[in-house]
Chain A
Amino acid sequence: MKQFSYVRVTSGKAAISELSKDKTAMFLAGGTNLVDLMKSGVTNPERLVDITRVPLATIEATKTGLRIGALAKNTAVAEHPLVLKHFPLLSQALNAGASPQLRNMATVGGNMMQRTRCHYFYDTALPCNKRNPGSGCGAIGGFSRMHAIFGASDKCIAVHPSDMCVALTALDAVITVTGAKGERKISFGEFHRLPGDTPEIDNTLQRGELITAVDIPFNDALQQTHYLKVRDRASYAFALVSAGVALSLKGNNIADVRIAMGGVAHKPWRLKEAEAYLKGKPATEEHFREAARLTMAQAKAEEGNAYKLTLAPNTIVEALKLAAANGNI
């Protein structure tokens, strides 16, 4: 096995200082993504800083929202009574991801930082600008069935694979990170980025920064939720397309709505235009269709993922329908 050093820390401060000792060093949380990447030679850190003992796993209510520690396990979040009560969408999204075994290990911070599942990224014998900048994008003109229809570039068409992040994007979560220069906050929609010319950079976290928490503002009106994940088998598969919806109805009118999608872009894809369109309108299929149509105006596909041009709007419509219906049952 390739040699690397390993250190376990018990405070955020120590984590940051240990990380700074080696420019290849990486935080190790649940390890469900990082260890796989190391085994396949995609990521080759010479130092691992195990942060699992850093006390950042608390889930608690603040005055304005819910604060989830970056080391809270996916399962703990999905099953937490406050999450179930205030943010059922988050629980639904988490439970749609991976398997129970993985969710028992995976952490909130690790989930946000997980890397794309693009086949070309994982296979070191194939070109990939994200893994090896300048080597080309294997997926363009190749097996692109899982790939992006929004915001892709000619350097990279990979998607961010997380389900949890779709819900957090829809729910206007804010991330707290801390580094040598102190703490800063990043709104969820600005955390992940589009590939542009630098697909090797997944997000706006700076080298040396540790994610400590995610805050979700209370918005109890948004109680009607649905996370719809379309995939190749009933469980344990990444999304072809997913849509997370949280809305509130006044009579049959949409009082407020949040929509985000997964499996369509290099980042969780928030549907602000569709939301604005739907606000105040009756919750009818025609309006859902129009909202989807507005969203799709920016979509662009390869041959392999052209079906997403049909699947994505259908998924939006269906998720809206199901969210609108669930409050009525």
Chain B
Amino acid sequence: MLNSKVPAGPLSEKWTKHQFDLKLVNPANKRKYNIIVVGTGLAGASAAASLAELGYNVQAFSYHESPRRAHSIAAQGGINAAKNYPNDGDSIFRLFYDTIKGGDYRSREANVYRLAEISNNIIDQCVAQGVPFAREYGGLLDNRSFGGAQVSRTFYARGQTGQQLLLGCYSALVRQMHTGKVKFHPRHEMLDLVMIDGEAKGIITRNLITGDIQSHAAHAVVLATGGYSNAFFLSTNAMASNATAAWRAHKKGAFFANPCFTQIHPTCIPVASEHQSKLTLMSESLRNDGRVWVPKKEGDKRHPAEISEDERDYYLERLYPSFGNLVPRDVASRRAKEMCDLGNGVGETGLAVYLDFADAIQRLGRNIVTEKYGNLFDMYKQITGENPYEIPMRIYPAVHYTMGGLWVDYNLMSTIPGLYILGEANYSDHGANRLGASALMQGLADGYFILPYTIGDYLTGKLGENISTEDEAFEVAKTDVKGRIETLLTVNGERTVDDIHRELGLILWENVGMARNTAGLEKALNKIPKLRDEFWQNVKVSGTADELNPELEKAGRVADFLELGELMARDALNREESCGGHFRDEHQTEENEAKRNDEEFTYVATWQYKGKESPSELHKENLVFENVELTTRSYK
């Protein structure tokens, strides 16, 4: 049933050959096609601009007021590419290999190889747009090592790489808006997907200012709507990031892949108060120079300056002599949790470890440290009131990224014909764990260099097809959307949306977070449906449907998280192994490392929605490895 459409042939020739084999749309005919792009972050904006440059008519939608506000803007650390500028032994194959291995062998070889191939074009594209990447004194681009890579392949723009890359895409997009090839709809939220004869042919949106519910038709629909970390309430994602577009598409037939693969980032500022609304990431580039430690003695509450060198446990350096502080995210996060669980955590809550820059300041000088990390240090100080030049940072893991997402084939098409998924919204190339600086790469690869080719193959067959919003399917979907909004507004219970969302977040964090086990997952599967019922009977959403109403917007999103959260737990329970970010207590080695079960679980777990009353059905896409050997990840 699941056909990945991976082309035959040697790994390094697949994409080139595939591009040749794909059907092309004649240049003169491109203007006869309308394409809807939902989401204008890195993936959506790059896709919308590139499609318009080719001649397609694009309608782009975002709940933001401007494409420049997308969550992509917050990415700090950098973007990978296999340029091998530093001459340190990098290559396309090495980037491919590291990404596959980092993902713990739960992604598709052909996709990952293509990503590594395209990575170099992305850097060229961005530089041509005027993205001010960091440079050396000789004027050439600077690279750094990032997130566990043993080569320096990360390009960066201070601590604002996502911002600069997004502003690059945004500039390409506004240029197309100016020519009229892209019509951008700001503050419009997609609330449903419209299908005609089993294919994606449009969407229903709500104008967030007027509340107007509108239909939009097209020959194909592209979702680039980001990840679902906010299911956990507290995450490093922007406040409005949500899964609604993807979830509605799922309920219309798009399979959801590996929902339990979520990434917990090791270097975030710890929770400070019960009113905490989100968590802030400190870029993991900090781990290049910062050293992670906890006091050796349990419950040691002394000021860090009073704890001498031999009373400190630099546990990552101790456990992983070759990778040290640069072990992958999942490993670093789990070890931090373990230290805190053992009672060695620091700070008031004991839920934090130190990230210390004293050595770096001594070795490099304060100026260099400021140049590299100045804005991160400022940010930390602003939030915590403490100065990291003088006292070590306190960090703790937080939910950060979701590797799971809607299933796509090699062409980035979901199980619904005509529906394409890009960026963090798709189940993609990161397997069970994403390496640092590779989400930006993937989003831009999808948007600039993959979709613009692959979508033509689908569209050629649709020439002359006339899709109208008059079609009954649009009316039905519109009525559904309106009915749901009405219901949300009429419950008029006693709990706010945030209150229920916080509770869901806690259930997920405790049971479907960093370490999972059967008992916890079953507890989550029991609690979440109850909380969902509570929501529909006892939520209080103020205001009306026909005005700007942030409470109503949140309510719709939380209602979807309450369904998705259950699927995350179900998927985690099904996967009886530990791999990457998915750690099952029952499956670990004697040294507490993740123990994969390649015999039984070398597959993508893909879920089909079966209606409100029945559990989702599991379909498996078996992963075949022809070019790498499945080894146990070792960072010792």
Genuine A/B complex = no
Please give the residue numbers on chain B whose beta carbons come within 8 Å of chain A beta carbons, in ascending order.
none
